[in-house]
């Protein structure tokens, strides 16, 4: 008979989940990796994939029954709160799981931005749940630049954002994954801790454009948009209104200088500096060229 691993990872097929599984697997930590579609499963030593859906509480019991620790992540959708609360309800039934929730640097149950509000609502329920918890609140991921921003650089040598000269300490999603791995491997010392995760340096999009220019050897221009211009551009790409509202709220926060604060948590938890924007751009230069 095989034993069920006592660590469950939701979001295992995503941008954070994939590197997280690699770190857990490399550390030899037996892990149950959840996906709604087993076609997305990547086989790794010590990792057992299982099909379950946060929207379907009956599917959650088998993946939570034996769990001592759970990594809780799902991408934003209007059902994020309901689905993540399903996980908490089922985990409460068994009582023993320490929940490490991937939240947001902007999490606030009273926020106007839908994504920030959804994470804040789940955080509030988790804190009151009686379960052990740790909250990870990352700032914006550098990996966000590999889609629309990279396309604009490729085709027009321009970056369009409504952030003005405001700065943000962007971080590499792989650092988030490594922090999560460190905590999941030994969660007890991190109980009731909320970690804001950032890079070690806050940069404006003008500075990001300069770094990309250096790597490409060609000028890349930052185009400072108004909120209305950014809304129109994002709507043209088919971005849902709730996500546009959230992005513009974050952009306004950055423009007004409120997003520049650097947290020491990544360096403290990993005992090394956070990955840098310059290194990220160099490594992903083919996306921008």
Ligand X SMILES: NC(=O)c1ccc[n+]([C@@H]2O[C@H](COP(=O)([O-])OP(=O)(O)OC[C@H]3O[C@@H](n4cnc5c(N)ncnc54)[C@H](OP(=O)(O)O)[C@@H]3O)[C@@H](O)[C@H]2O)c1
Q: Footprint of ligand X on this chain (CB under 6 A)?
A: 10-17, 34-37, 40, 53-55, 73-76, 83, 102, 104-105, 115, 138, 140-141, 144
Residue nearer to ligand X on the CB measure, 109 or 216 = 109
- Residue 141 Cβ vs ligand X, minimum distance, rounded to whole Å: 4
- Residue 272 Cβ vs ligand X, minimum distance, rounded to whole Å: 21
Residue nearer to ligand X on the CB measure, 83 or 178 = 83
- What residues contact residue 184 under an 8 Å CB cut-off, 6+ apart? 7, 9, 24, 29, 69, 71, 100
The 8-class DSSP code of residue 146 comes to G
- Residue 288 Cβ vs ligand X, minimum distance, rounded to whole Å: 18
Strand partners, 194: 135
- Residue 244 Cβ vs ligand X, minimum distance, rounded to whole Å: 14
Q: Rounded to an integer, what distance in angstroms lies between the CA atom of residue 65 and that of residue 51? A: 15
Per-residue burial over 12-46, b = 16 or more CB atoms within 10 Å of its CB, e = otherwise = bbbbbbbbbbbbbbeeebbbbbbbeeeeebeebee
Residue nearer to ligand X on the CB measure, 218 or 244 = 244
User: Which tokens in the block code for residue 153?
Assistant: 């650089």
Residue nearer to ligand X on the CB measure, 76 or 94 = 76
Residue 154 contacts residue 289 (beta carbons within 8 Å):
yes
Residue nearer to ligand X on the CB measure, 157 or 201 = 201
- Residue 1 Cβ vs ligand X, minimum distance, rounded to whole Å: 26
Helices 80-94 & 57-64 angle (0-180, nearest 10): 50
């Amino acid at each position: 008979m095989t034993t069920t691993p006592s660590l469950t990872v939701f979001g295992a097929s995503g941008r954070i989940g994939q590197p997280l599984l690699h770190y857990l697997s490399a550390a030899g930590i037996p892990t149950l990796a959840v996906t709604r579609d087993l076609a997305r499963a990547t086989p790794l030593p010590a990792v057992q994939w299982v099909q379950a859906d946060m929207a379907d509480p009956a599917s959650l019991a088998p993946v939570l029954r034996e769990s001592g620790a759970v990594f809780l992540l799902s991408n934003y959708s209007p059902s994020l709160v309901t689905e993540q609360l399903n996980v908490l309800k089922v985990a409460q039934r068994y009582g023993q799981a320490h929940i490490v929730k991937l939240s947001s640097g902007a999490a606030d149950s009273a926020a106007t931005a839908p994504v920030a509000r959804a994470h804040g609502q789940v955080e509030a329920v988790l804190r009151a749940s009686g379960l052990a918890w740790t909250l990870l609140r990352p700032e914006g991921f550098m990996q966000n630049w590999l889609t629309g921003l990279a396309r604009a650089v490729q085709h027009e040598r321009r970056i369009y954002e409504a952030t003005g000269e405001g700065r943000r300490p962007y971080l590499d999603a792989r650092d988030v994954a490594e922090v999560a791995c460190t905590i999941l491997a030994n969660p007890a010392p991190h109980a009731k801790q909320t970690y804001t995760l950032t890079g070690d340096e806050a940069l404006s999009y003008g500075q990001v454009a300069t770094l990309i220019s250096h790597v490409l050897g060609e000028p890349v221009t930052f185009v400072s948009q108004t909120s209305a211009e950014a809304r129109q551009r994002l709507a043209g790409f088919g971005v849902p209104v709730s996500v546009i509202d959230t992005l513009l709220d974050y952009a306004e926060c950055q423009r007004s200088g409120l997003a520049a604060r650097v947290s020491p948590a990544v360096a403290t938890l990993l005992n090394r500096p956070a990955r840098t924007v310059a290194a990220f751009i160099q490594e992903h230069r083919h996306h921008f060229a």
